[in-house]
Amino acid sequence: MKMPAAGAMLCSSMLVFFILSTSPLTADGAAKCNKSDKQALLAVSIALNGNKPFPAWTDEIPCCEWSGVDCDPNLGNGRVTGLHIFADASISGSIPSAVADLPFLSVLVFHKLPNLVGSVPPSIIRLTRLSLLELSWNSLSGPVPSFLSRISSLTFLGLAFNQFSGEIPPELSLLQNLGALHLDRNQLTGPIPASFGSFRKSSPPDLYLSHNNLSGEIPLELGTPEWGIIDLSRNWLTGDATVLFGSAKPTTQIDLSRNRFAFDLSRVSFPVNLTLLDLSHNMISGSIPVQINRVSSLVGFNVSYNRLCGEIPSGPVTGRYGQDVYFHNKCLCGSPLPACRKK
Ligand SMILES: *[C@@H]1O[C@H](CO)[C@@H](O)[C@H](O)[C@H]1NC(C)=O
Ligand SMILES: *[C@@H]1O[C@H](CO)[C@@H](O)[C@H](O)[C@H]1NC(C)=O
Ligand SMILES: *[C@@H]1O[C@H](CO)[C@@H](O)[C@H](O)[C@H]1NC(C)=O
Ligand SMILES: *[C@@H]1O[C@H](CO)[C@@H](O)[C@H](O)[C@H]1NC(C)=O
């Protein structure tokens, strides 16, 4: 075999070196990063970090590998699909409108940022692929924006633990792909919109409205969707919540505790797959239906602080609980409370 000329050898070893040093960037689609997405990410970080990019987001690392950034390897062209910024008290300011310059974003999370203030930028409706929007445990304020209803791709909307105020925008029910809606732990006022009865009947979102200042009667329309989880606890809601019940409903959790609901519990049959039923601290009257003892998966149960009366129907379910889930009613009696007085 002929020895290759020195020049050719140098050339081929340079070529090998060149291939080795660049292949990790070009072969792996996620490793390179679209320039326009990188610019948008830098603008987001500069807005949140006192006019400097996050220190960990350096030019040496492709932006798809920056902490908190995801690119979908299946897209193969270095487009940013996920942004997670969380648990950082040094971040301050409001949600930068530059997030809307990440057109392939499907997951956007700003979570536990105590100094994140202001509201949600309207530009966010440009994110037509956005599926999960989680903006919880921050200090966001102002009304819950009705324009969120225009991001029809949303499957999860989480605005819990902020200082949002004003009424719940009825338009949110236009989000027909939602699997969960978290508006809990804000300062929302006014009624539950009747439009919430027009969420998809067979697969409405799990609905979390607890710890607000909602008031008014529960709309009749709320009885139409077959809720999986409905948590209305700790508000000022009134009226007849019997529409939420029915043994054929697939509901697993109903929490109405600490409201001002007033209805006759005797008229109710419980969804058979309930695991949580908290009715405590209301003005509910009547007696506990015998059918409760067929709700065999029930774990969390509480009817204390109401106006119930009559004998607790003894059985496998009611027998699981101590006095504290039954006490402070008008005239409930029987085990585990004191025996009913003979008539
Ligand atoms: C990067 O994004 C821009 C703006 O969306 C787009 O025009 C461009 O084609 C993308 N580049 C690549 C290599 O995908
Ligand atoms: C919530 O509503 C109650 C009763 O309407 C009122 O007394 C209270 O001040 C309200 N709280 C807030 C934070 O708005
Ligand atoms: C209760 O759960 C069982 C088991 O998952 C299911 O087959 C049944 O359809 C559920 N019942 C209702 C009323 O949703
Ligand atoms: C039921 O609710 C009452 C009133 O809020 C509370 O004191 C009691 O501890 C609760 N019991 C259970 C088991 O959650």
Q: Where are the domains of the chain?
A: 104-333
Q: What is the CATH number of domain 104-333?
A: 3.80.10.10
Q: Record the tokens describing residue 87, joined without a space.
A: 């648990």
pLDDT tens track for 188-243: 999 999 999 999 999 999 999 999 999 999 999 999 999 999 999 999 999 999 99
Q: Are 264 and 287 in contact (CB under 8 A)?
A: no
What is the chain's alpha carbon radius of gyration, rounded to the nearest angstrom? 28
Pocket of ligand 2 (CB under 6 A): 187, 213, 236
CA distance 105 to 131: 8
Ligand 2 atom showing the smallest separation from residue 165 Cα: 14
DSSP string computed for 23-37: HHHHTSTTTS--HHH
Per-residue model confidence (pLDDT) at position 343: 62
Per-residue model confidence (pLDDT) at position 301: 98
Per-residue model confidence (pLDDT) at position 31: 55
Per-residue model confidence (pLDDT) at position 32: 81
Ligand 4 centre distance from Cα of residue 340 (Å): 22
Per-residue model confidence (pLDDT) at position 26: 39
Low-confidence ranges of the chain (pLDDT < 50): 1-30
Does any ligand 1 atom lie closer than 6 A to the CB of residue 39? no
* Ligand with smallest separation from the Cα of 327: 4
Task: Give the 3-state secondary structure of residue 334.
Answer: coil
Q: Record the tokens describing residue 253, joined without a space.
A: 């959790």
Residues 6+ apart with CB under 8 A from 108: 82, 83, 99, 127, 130, 132, 133, 134
* Ligand with smallest separation from the Cα of 281: 4
- pTM attached to this predicted model: 0.89
Task: Take atom 4 of ligand 1 and give the residue whose Cα is closest.
Answer: 36
* Ligand with smallest separation from the Cα of 272: 3
Q: Record the tokens describing residue 161, joined without a space.
A: 């633990």
Ligand 2 centre distance from Cα of residue 167 (Å): 13
Per-residue model confidence (pLDDT) at position 74: 80
Q: Record the tokens describing residue 271, joined without a space.
A: 């969804």
Per-residue model confidence (pLDDT) at position 336: 96
Per-residue model confidence (pLDDT) at position 309: 97
Ligand 4 centre distance from Cα of residue 200 (Å): 33
Task: Take atom 1 of ligand 4 and give the residue whose Cα is closest.
Answer: 325
Per-residue model confidence (pLDDT) at position 18: 37
- End-to-end CA distance of the chain, in Å? 114
